[in-house]
Amino acid sequence: MFIVRGRFVVTVDDFNRVLRDGAVVVEDNRIVDVGYFGDLKKKHRCDTVIGDEWKIVLPGLVNCHYHSREQLSQTMFPDGHGETTWFNNYCLPYHAALTPEEEKTAFKLALYAMALNGVTTFADGGLLYPSSSLETLNEVPLRCLTSTWCWDRADIIPKTTDEAFKELTHLHHELNGGYGGRLSICATPISVTTCSENLLRQVVEWARENGVKTFIHVSSFREEVEKTLSSWGVTPVQYLSEHGLLNRDVNILHGIHLSMDDVERLVASGAGVVSCPYSSLKKGKGLSVSGVFPELLERGVRVGLGGDGAPSAQHVDMLRTLSLFTGLCRDMRMNASLPLAKDAVRAVTSTAADLLGLGNQIGSLEKGKKADIILLDMRGPDFTPLRDVFQALVFSATGAAVDTVIVDGRVVVEGRKVKGVDAEKLVKESEIAAENVAERLGLQRPM
């Protein structure tokens, strides 16, 4: 048993309690008490205290969408390309070229980067070699949802409907609940345009029957919507809705080009939406022009945030992502209260956890929940002076302030170092692997 202490303990519970000079008591992998440090120190016999009066304690951050196998390509692709060219000419060939060992290296590097930025749980976009890559969860023990590469209407990484579906169900049978319960299998059919109706129906219906969450790219860029309209006469959201494939267990990814009819369908279905704002801004997808996230929030749609991938966002800092998303929503509608900072924080904590089906386990600091906790160091100009901790978290904090990360009651990051990881060795291995991939793809250094 140990105590986690901070000047501010931000619980993100139903009452949004913030405890000044607060503490969280951890036993094994669970939170057993939350309250004021002085009271809990007397109540519980704990020899170990993690944190001090210079820390902000909050739930571990949740990254709702991240293509971890893209980590080696963070600065590999040429700058200045929109989504269609970027994906078809660079990203997809990269995915096809990656070997099992390179995917494993990319996955470990992604885990390392997320841990340093306070991410304790993430939803992966799909692996080609999951059995070997997931072994790195023993080295950087984050909480993870992952899946297979799931589509049946593509020439690169081709799969039949039967192959795509069987790969997913096999992975679920073999590994769901593995790694000490930190691993869950989700379904990730890539998109409406890359999956047949038959595959989508099989995957979504199977997922719901088995309590599995589904994540699907929807209205991510303008050309995708145009293709869906020309092929079926409906938007991607309408397509899913009219085929009975939208429900509370489905999360649409990106959701940039949504009509108001799409919004109403999402409200009615209970589906969640994951925004990846840095990905849109880097590739000029149109979030600031066409996005309807202020309306989604007003209508009560659950919205979480994702990093998308290393070449799409260039980082996995969910606090920076939170700041960008909140500012965009306010500016798009010239409404400085949509959302308020105290509500926005939920997009990377409690609401995000709910989208991943883990809302009863993580996402807030409450008795009985899993001990996924992070500590930010307040000693710096970004936090000085500090009166409103929510404004500080949303608009001041970055991942650089993360000092300590606890996952499942285990300290994973201490003093901004990932325990048990030789950082220099990992960086060197990653650089060599990235150069090998780039050479095989014929990509030249820009300088």
Does the pLDDT value for residue 447 go beyond 80? no
Model pLDDT, residue 195: 98
Q: Is it the case that residue 149 has pLDDT exceeding 90?
A: yes
What's the rounded mean pLDDT across residues 290-313? 97
In which band, very low, low, confident or very high, does the pLDDT at 445 lie, cut at 50, 70 and 90? confident
Residue 446 has pLDDT above 80, yes or no: no
CATH no. of 2-60+369-418? 2.30.40.10
Residue with tokens 């405890």: 19
CB 253 within 8 A of CB 147: no
Q: What is the Cα–Cα distance from 172 to 50, expressed in whole angstroms?
A: 36
The tokens for 166 are: 């069987």
- What local confidence, expressed as pLDDT, does residue 410 receive? 98
Give the closest residue to 265 by CA, choosing from 224, 232, 296.
Answer: 296
Q: Angle 261-227-201 (CA atoms, 0-180°, nearest 5)?
A: 70
Half-sphere exposure for 80 (CA within 13 Å, toward CB): 2
Tell me the domain boundaries of the chain.
2-60+369-418, 61-355
Res 10: pLDDT: 98
DSSP state of 309: -
pLDDT of residue 444: 84
In this predicted structure, the answer to whether residue 222 has a pLDDT above a threshold of 70 is yes
The mean pLDDT value for 247-270 works out to 98
Percent of the chain past pLDDT 70, that is, above it, reads 100
The mean per-residue pLDDT over the stretch 418-429 comes to 97
- Report yes or no: 104 and 130 within 8 Å, Cβ to Cβ: no
pLDDT (average), residues 60-66: 98
For residues 338 and 111, what is the distance between their CA atoms, to the nearest angstrom? 32
What's the mean pLDDT in 347-369?
98
pLDDT score of 47 more than 90:
no
Strands (E), 293-364: 303-305
Q: What is the pTM for the complete model shown? A: 0.98
Give the strands of the sheet with 183-185, arranged side by side. 61-66, 119-124, 143-146, 183-185
- Residue range 396-405, pLDDT digits in tens: 999 999 999 9
Contact, 60 vs 373, CB < 8 A? yes
DSSP 397: -
Question: What is the architecture, at CATH level 2, of domain 61-355?
Answer: Alpha-Beta Barrel (3.20)
| DSSP calls for 178-219 | TTTTTEEE-B-B-BTTTS-HHHHHHHHHHHHHTT--EEEEES
Q: Are 271 and 233 in contact (CB under 8 A)?
A: no
Average pLDDT of the chain to the nearest whole number:
97
Task: Write the CB contacts of 133 (distance below 8 Å, at least 6 apart in sequence).
Answer: 68, 69, 100, 103, 104, 107, 127
Q: What is the DSSP string of 394-447?
A: III--GGGEEEEEETTEEEEETTEETT--HHHHHHHHHHHHHHHHHHHTPPP--
**Residue 74: band (very low, low, confident or very high) from pLDDT cuts 50, 70, 90:** very high
**Is pLDDT of 161 > 90?**
yes
**Which pLDDT tens digit goes with each residue over 176-208?**
999 999 999 999 999 999 999 999 999 999 999
